[in-house]
Every structure is written in C-alpha cells, then in structure tokens.
Structure 1
Amino acid sequence: MVRHLLACLIAALLWAAPAQAQLAKQQFGAARQPSAQPAEPFGSYAKGCAAGNVQLSETGPSWQAMRLSRNRNWGHPDLVDLVQDVGRHMDRIGWGGIYVGDMSQPRGGPMLTGHRSHQIGLDADIWLYPATDMTLSRGQRETISAISMRRQNGAFVNSNWTRGQHELVKKAAQDPRTARIFIFPGAKVQMCNDETGDRSWLRKVRPWYGHHYHMHVRISCPRGARNCENQAAPPPGDGCAEAQDWVNRILNPPPPDPNAPPPRPRREYVLADLPGQCASVLSSR
C-alpha cells in the first residue's frame, strides 16, 4: 500500500513538472477568463496573481477600454470601481471620459509582453489623451495612438498638457484606495507649480521613467487580503522637491560611473516562483 502511494506521488510530481517549469507568463497569458473564486490578490504587484478578477466593460458611459486584443481590461472590483469613478469625474468636468489601457490579465500573473507589474489586479494605465470620442470601434482602439505630454526627455510638459490632465491625475490620487500614481517627472513638477489648494494628494504622485502617454494608477491591497503585499508608503511630504531633483538630473545628468556593474538580466518566473495560491488560480474553472 505504501509503495503504491509512493509510486502515485512520484508519477504526479513527474506529470506536474512540465507545467511548473513552463514560464508563468505563458500560463497566465493563455487564460482567457478569470478564476471562479472570490476576488483576492496574491503576492506583490510584480510577482503574483489574482483570483476572481472582474472585467472592466469594453465601453461604459464615460470610459472605453483600449487595445482589446490584449485582453487586459481585468482587475480587482475595487480597481474597476475606481477607474469608473475617474471616468465619470472627467465626463462631468468636460472630457467625454477616459481611455483605459492595460489593467491586468484575467487571472493576473506575469504578462507575455510589456509590464513587469500589473500582476495582482491592482494596477491600471489611464491615457493622458483627452477622451472626447466615446464611440470608438474595436479597430480604432487597436490603432489610435495616445499623445506624449513631455518635452526635453521628460523634464517638462509640452503644449498638449492642460488643466484637464492635472484634474485627471488629481482625481485618481485623491481616491483613498490609491497608493501611488506614476507619471513622468516634468508632469509632477508642473502639478506642484500649478496646485493652489490642498496639496496632500501630490504625495501619491511619483515620478518614474516613461509614463508620458499615460498615468499608472496603483491601488492598495484591499481590506482583508492577507496574502497581498503592499508597496511601502511614499515618503512624507508632497514629493515636489524630489521631483525637481529628478528634473535637474535630466537636464544635467551626472557622469556615468565607470565602476558600475552591468545590469543583471531579469530571470523569467515559472509558476513555482509565484505565491502558492497561484497554482489554484490557474487550475480553477
């Protein structure tokens, strides 16, 4: 009896080995629907998965999901609700709403292309493009291009930046569910210079590479999500001086360090690298 059970265990392990060795991005990228589980993120923003994601509908009264062929308009219900709230706000103040880029895959996890984060259903890219046409076809959503808002490599905003973009970022940042917003440094400095009211929301807006076509909204782990890892809170203060320092380094870059080691290539994750719950997220019907 013991030998039989041992043989069955060995066979099961051998059968499972190829799946465990397969790249996680291939497994999660192949999932077309969410898991039939309660909504819950597992792991961290750049190393995890998501059970029970819900879909941001392709078209709403004040939002449109873009690049539908990617099937990345999924997220935790809190994220979907926040995106819709931002869209409704922008509709009220003069835009038609918002264009929404990548959120998460149906079951989260590493993506076949692009993002290192967006893995646990708590990240969303919202275009800085002024959304006026809310009747785009599926074909248009694949081909229309967002507009860059930066000049001088991100040190400043360009003429495409208006008060509308300021209000878009501000609305998302003021939501208590939001943990961080990533945007190019010149935009952060511009908002610091322009804001005349409550500045507390600026603390959540963090300068980061790229992010001049869209802002990246990241929400905190939902209440009760015990297996979700929050990012450390931003430093105290509005972060405006730090953003200005970043701009100064763009304009006057320090000389390269000749002794700096070359960057190490990132290893692609396999399923075994992710939180243990991710296996059940993949196998759930």
Structure 2
Amino acid sequence: MVRILAGLTLALTLGACQTGGSPVTVASQNANPGAPAATAQAVNAGDTRIAKEVFGYLSTASVQRSEAIGGFARGCQAGAVRLPETGPTWQAMRLSRNRNWAQPITVEFVQDLSRFAATLPGWEGLYVGDMSQPRGGPMLSGHQSHQTGLDVDIWLRAPHRLDLPPEARESISSTSLRRAEGAYVNDQWTPQHMDLMRAAASDPRVARIFVFPGAKTWMCENATGDRSWLRKIRPWWGHHYHFHVRLSCPPGMAGCVDQDPPPPGDGCNEAREWVDRILNPPPPDPNAPSPAPSRELTMADLPAQCHDVAAN
C-alpha cells in the first residue's frame, strides 16, 4: 500500500544577479571568510540587504547537508533537492519560476501523495505548484511562506495527462473550486478532492493543510469514520485553486522552527465561523487605524545560518 500517512505565521537578496548566476558571497561583502564562526551573528545583525533580493536570484541549491532553517516565513533551506519536472504520477508546473526545490522529505511526500492520487477515479496523479526556491528564503513575488523547503502547493485540478511540454505548464491554469467568495464549493468539487486531502492530512509528516473555508466545511459535513485528520485542515484566504501542505520539521533539525500545533478538535466550528464572516461581513469600523505598511525582511532578520546558505 502506498505510504500516505502537515494560525499561519506570516512575514516576508540583490546579493548578486549576474550573467551565469554567480552570487556575490556574504563572505566577500561582509567579513573575512576565515573569521571565527562566533562572528557570524554579528555579521548577520549588520546586514541590511533585502533578503528576497538575495535568495530570489540564486538558481541552484547550496552545497551543504540538507536542512530546513528558521521558520516558514523567516528562514531558508540548505542542501535542497529538486522535484523532477515529470514523474510517473506527477508534473511540476510553472517551471520558469524555479520553485520545485525542497527538503528531501518534502519531495518524498509529494511522490508518495501523487501515487495515491493516481488511484483516485479521474486522476492520473498530481500537478504540483510552488514548493520553494533553490535555497528557500523570501521570494521576489507571491508567497510569504515557502521559505524552508517544507511547503508545497498541490493543484486542485485533476490531471488527465502527465506529458505536458514546458510551455503548456506555463499557460494551463488550475481549477477554482469555490463559490460565493469561498463560502461554498462549486460544481467542480468532487469527493475525490476530500479523499486526496484526507490522505495528505493523515500522513504523520504533515503539520497542516490550508484550503478555502467552503472546502473545509464541506468535508466537515461529509466525512465519516475517523475524523481526526480534519484537525490539520485549516481554512485560509485564497487557496481555492490549490491546497497548501506544510510539513513538520524533520527530526534532528535543531535550527528548524515549527508552528504551534493546531487547536484541539476537528476545527469545524472555526471553519463555519469563517463562512459566516464571508456571508455576513462585519461593517467597517470608521475608527480602525490604517494598517501599518509591511517592512521588507532583510538578511539581518533571518537566522545567521542563512548567510552561509546564500554563500555556499
């Protein structure tokens, strides 16, 4: 049998962008390469470069032991591996983004889940969206998470072919399954979508899964038998073209920071509250202060190890 056993912390390197992709290393810019390791934190504290402009232009993985470093929205990854662009039961999409990199455990999870997906009626496997950049870290566009190689977006479109050429993977779109701004599922939703998410949430490697509120409430109303897996399914904005799987930190990775676990219970009341707010939004508060503009993460905001990741 195929082994199919994941609050969101949000936050968001032009270290170099040269022809050929050669980075200007942290060592050459900021410190003596032979300086003691004790100086790494001091170097980190003084580095005001915008982190996404460092990590967003690094096109290959670091030559290091595989490790997720920091948190999902403030971290990086060392020694990443690349999900092959095409496999027997999956295809990586939007190849031009170069975001099909992750920790080995994430690549293995995707391959396992894709084999399960291929057993579902009407599914040939999975279309796999964004994972992480080659060295993780903040992205130039899109996600605020996906920084440590432990996140993956799975398209909600059931693949009917797995031989798409690269150009088709840039133009084809996933399928939106929401209705009424995400309060309900639409007629493209199938029981197989729940089967797929139940398999993913039942995997002990998985910490949580994000999907639009209407999908969670549909599953709450239709799931039978053991419902413990529903706890990992978390309602969140968007996520109606894909569901987002987040893995727990692998054992032994001391520098990896997990989120707090989801609250006890199946989370169905929370999902219904989300739906109620969508259908009956509260009136705007004229006295509410304007939201403060978000600040770009700098290299100093990331764990000190991320400097080594960027340089190696």
TM-score (norm: length of structure 2): 0.85
Match of 1:121 in 2: 149
* Separation (CA, whole Å) in 2 of partners of 1:239 and 1:109: 30
For the residue of structure 2 that corresponds to 1:30, the secondary structure is coil
Aligned-pair RMSD on alpha carbons? 1.9
* Separation (CA, whole Å) in 1 of partners of 2:291 and 2:236: 18
1:170 aligns with 2:198: yes
Match of 1:146 in 2: 174
Please report how far the alpha carbon of residue 29 of structure 1 lies from its aligned counterpart in structure 2 after TM superposition: 1.1
For the residue of structure 2 that corresponds to 1:272, the secondary structure is helix
* Separation (CA, whole Å) in 1 of partners of 2:155 and 2:172: 12
Match of 1:245 in 2: 273
Please report how far the alpha carbon of residue 63 of structure 1 lies from its aligned counterpart in structure 2 after TM superposition: 0.5
* Separation (CA, whole Å) in 2 of partners of 1:12 and 1:107: 20
> Which of 282, 289, 301 is the aligned partner of 1:273?
301
Instruction: Deviation per CA, 1:41-67: give whole Å up to 9, x if none.
Output: 111000000001111100011010000
Please report how far the alpha carbon of residue 22 of structure 1 lies from its aligned counterpart in structure 2 after TM superposition: 2.6
Amino acid in structure 2 at the alignment position of 1:234: P
Please report how far the alpha carbon of residue 26 of structure 1 lies from its aligned counterpart in structure 2 after TM superposition: 1.3
1:42 aligns with 2:69: yes
1:51 aligns with 2:78: yes
Match of 1:130 in 2: 158
* Separation (CA, whole Å) in 2 of partners of 1:39 and 1:258: 50
1:236 aligns with 2:279: no
**Aligned 1:170-189 pairs, distance under 5 A:** 170-189=198-217
Runs of 4+ aligned structure 1 residues displaced above 2 Å come to 11-14, 19-22
1:157 aligns with 2:195: no
After alignment, is 48-57 or 260-269 more displaced?
A: 260-269
Please report how far the alpha carbon of residue 100 of structure 1 lies from its aligned counterpart in structure 2 after TM superposition: 0.4
Instruction: Deviation per CA, 1:74-123: give whole Å up to 9, x if none.
Output: 11111111111110001022310000000000000000100000000000
Please report how far the alpha carbon of residue 222 of structure 1 lies from its aligned counterpart in structure 2 after TM superposition: 0.6
* Separation (CA, whole Å) in 1 of partners of 2:159 and 2:199: 16
Against the structure 1 CA distance between its residues 12 and 106, is the aligned structure 2 distance closer, same or farther, given a 3 Å change threshold? closer
Match of 1:26 in 2: 53
Please report how far the alpha carbon of residue 13 of structure 1 lies from its aligned counterpart in structure 2 after TM superposition: 5.3
Please report how far the alpha carbon of residue 149 of structure 1 lies from its aligned counterpart in structure 2 after TM superposition: 0.2
Amino acid in structure 1 at the alignment position of 2:101: W
Instruction: Deviation per CA, 1:5-31: give whole Å up to 9, x if none.
Output: xxxxxx9559x89x9333111111111
Match of 2:119 in 1: 92
* Separation (CA, whole Å) in 1 of partners of 2:205 and 2:140: 28
The number of residue pairs the alignment matches comes to 274
Amino acid in structure 1 at the alignment position of 2:143: H
* Separation (CA, whole Å) in 2 of partners of 1:73 and 1:263: 33
> Which of 199, 224, 229 is the aligned partner of 2:252?
224
After alignment, is 204-213 or 189-198 more displaced?
A: 189-198
Amino acid in structure 2 at the alignment position of 1:183: V
* Separation (CA, whole Å) in 1 of partners of 2:56 and 2:138: 8
Gap regions ≥5 residues in structure 1 = 1-10
* Separation (CA, whole Å) in 2 of partners of 1:101 and 1:270: 26
* Separation (CA, whole Å) in 2 of partners of 1:254 and 1:26: 38
Against the structure 1 CA distance between its residues 162 and 280, is the aligned structure 2 distance closer, same or farther, given a 3 Å change threshold? same
Identity of aligned residues (%): 58
Structure with greater proportional helix content: 1
Please report how far the alpha carbon of residue 273 of structure 1 lies from its aligned counterpart in structure 2 after TM superposition: 1.2
Please report how far the alpha carbon of residue 257 of structure 1 lies from its aligned counterpart in structure 2 after TM superposition: 1.9
> Which of 49, 58, 76 is the aligned partner of 2:103?
76
Match of 1:195 in 2: 223
